[in-house]
Structure 1
Amino acid sequence: MSIEGIYLVKIIAVGIGATVIMDLWALMLRRVFKVMSLNFCLVGRWLIYMRDGVFRHKSIMSAQAKPAECAVGWLAHYAIGIVFAFALLLMTSPSWLDQPTILPALLTGLVTISIPFFIMQPAFGMGIAAAKTPKPGQARLRSLMTHSVFGLGLYLSALVLSIVFQGS
């Protein structure tokens, strides 16, 4: 495999790994503290509605469910994680995968919060940065924590890969 192919495989693995870590965080919050996270079926619903030219909803939860929305939502969730991992690599360099540092990963996680705050939540009918939700401050804090965990996941996934590939 070429060096570019190896980096491609690594960055996909880092994106998937970081997303898994974020999902484990959400699972822990749900099981231990009864804190619900984003339902990725709603992400799928939103994306499927885009085919019909509908990009914003008064309430995504009130919009009619679409076939395969859960599968589309979960696939999109992991694809977005991979795209964010690519963005991290663009901000640093491919060598970051060989010697990962935590600061760029955490900064990437924090920057990614702009997507839900300024694109997804308004499109779902929740307002900018969850302003129209019952507890916007709590929703913002949960998003901040979750995206910070994603950033930590980017670092941890790259660190594990760098150790595994160190001998090769």
Structure 2
Amino acid sequence: MIWHGAVIGLGATAVMDLWALLQRRLFGVPSLDYALVGRWLGHFPRGRFRHKAIMAAPPVAGERVLGWAAHYAIGMLFAALLIGLWGPAWVADPTPGPALIIGVGTVVVPFLIMQPAFGAGLAASRTPQPNKARFRSLVAHASFGVGLYLAAKISALWG
């Protein structure tokens, strides 16, 4: 199950990233710069967990690599949660419902943790267009749910 969790999490996160790339190229929709995630995490050892504005925080060495690594590790953790809740039977014969529940459910992380910690407020309330930011987050995490399902289908083929 560990192997399947890793494969499903990596695949789902890649689908999320491909969706973000497609939106940026076709519609000019900006996506999260994962270097900022690395910057946020890089300030943890210094005891700093919240920022007035993460972009104004001092850069951290290796923040881009740290941010991208965290992004994919978190994707694998959410895949493990999915497998933990629905079990090996779901991995053997995946259905879209559980994957979408977990995918969409993961939007609570940016709403309640990351956006406030980055200075954007609870559920992007301090951004210029909060509802637009919320919708984009929801769509991004729904794409992760689709990715969980697609990656699980591929993983199931490998047995």
Bin the TM-score by the shorter chain: over 0.9
Task: Tell me which protein shows more helix as a share of its residues.
Answer: 2
Aligned residues: 159
The aligned counterpart of 2:123 is 129
Residue by residue over 1:109-153, the C-alpha shift from the partner in whole angstroms, topping out at 9 and shown as x without a partner, is: 111000000000000000000000011110000000010010010
Residue 98 (structure 2) pairs with residue 118 (structure 1): no
Residue 62 (structure 2) pairs with residue 38 (structure 1): no
Structure 1: gaps spanning 5 or more residues: 1-6
TM-score norm. by structure 1 comes to 0.93
For the residue of structure 2 that corresponds to 1:38, the secondary structure is coil
Which AA in structure 2 matches 1:101?
Answer: T
Separation in 1, partners of 2:60, 2:157: 43
Residue 23 (structure 2) pairs with residue 29 (structure 1): yes
Which AA in structure 2 matches 1:107?
Answer: I
For the residue of structure 2 that corresponds to 1:94, the secondary structure is helix
Q: CA RMSD in A?
A: 0.7
TM-score norm. by structure 2 comes to 0.98
Identity of aligned residues (%): 50
For the residue of structure 1 that corresponds to 2:87, the secondary structure is coil
Aligned structure 1 segments of 4 or more residues deviating by more than 3 angstroms: none
Separation in 2, partners of 1:71, 1:160: 27
Q: 2:61 aligns with which of 64, 67, 70?
A: 67
Separation in 1, partners of 2:38, 2:19: 21
Q: 2:12 aligns with which of 5, 18, 22?
A: 18
Structure 2: gaps spanning 5 or more residues: none
Q: Which of structures 1 and 2 has the bigger CA Rg?
A: 1
Shift of 1:34: 0.7
